[in-house]
Copies of this chain bind each other. A is one copy, B any other.
Amino acid sequence: MDAASSRRGRPAAHVQFSQWHRDRKLSGSAERFGESAAILLGDLCLIWAEQMLRESGVDHRSLQRAWPLYDAMRTELAVGQFADLTIDVRDLPSMDTVLEVARRKSGNYTVRRPLELGAAMSGCSDRTISGLGRYGETVGEAFQLRDDLLGVFGASSVTGKPDGQDLIERKATSVVIAAHTLADPPTRRQLAELMNSGDLDDGAIERWRTLIVETGAVEWIEDTIGHRVSAALSEIDQLRINAPLRAALAKMAAVCTERTE
């Protein structure tokens, strides 16, 4: 289950399936059942999405242009998620690594590839497709940075997940890596302690959050999001597209990266 998709205020699929299991008083572990059923639902969605595109009525030639991009999107998502699993937070991966994984597992399929798909299917020039690709990659990265901030500071009413979920899971997100990079040595030691400690209670999570803010990591991420959005807007300035389309793309960059959803 992707982080972004479960930040919509409704319980994720595996939680709903677990409840279904409990309501029916079935035997065995409700958690295990919930996870298994959610995986099967994921398989069905993967199948149905491809089937819907194939049966959409879009002509054969446009579909032929779409499939390579569609396959790339699906494959790089799975590979990116795998890369995410192998990142060991104790090794403190570089910011470049963290952003590269974020691009592959989230930014590309959320923004870049869908744009390229639409452009390819409607017969846009290679120049336009590349420009939209660069815009999408940049917006996708800003989207992921916003998601990382929500994962640490978002209220559970907004994210639909426990407060500070990414800290509880010890995820090596851009926020955590930025804090480690910017921290002075004593703060860095405190951050490392929290990272390597066993169970974290609410107080520890709150202390961790405060330390992160004190390093200046939040401002740094906010600035980076701002720069990414500006870069994306320059990309669309260079595209040969009409004014309403340009305005829509600018709007989309804002919506994908704004502070609350």
Contacts and interface: CB of A to CB of B under 8 A. Distances in A.
Contacts of A37: 82, 85
B44 A46 contact: no
Contact of A47 (B60, B71, B90): B71
Give chain A's interface secondary structure class: helix
Interface stretch (A5-13, A73-81, A133-141, A145-153): A73-81
Nearest to A63: B54
A145 B37 CA distance: 24
Contact of A89 (B27, B54, B75, B86): B27
Contacts of A78: 40, 43-44, 47
Contact of A40 (B60, B67, B82): B82
A193 interface: no
Interface in A88-118: 88-90
A26 interface: yes
B71 A51 contact: yes
B67 A54 contact: yes
A39 interface: yes
Given A40-B78, A78-B40, A85 B33 contact: yes
Interface string A176-196: 000000000000000000000
Contacts of A27: 88-90, 170
A42 interface: yes
A36 interface: yes
A184 to B, nearest CB: 25
Contacts of A46: 43, 46-47
A126 interface: no
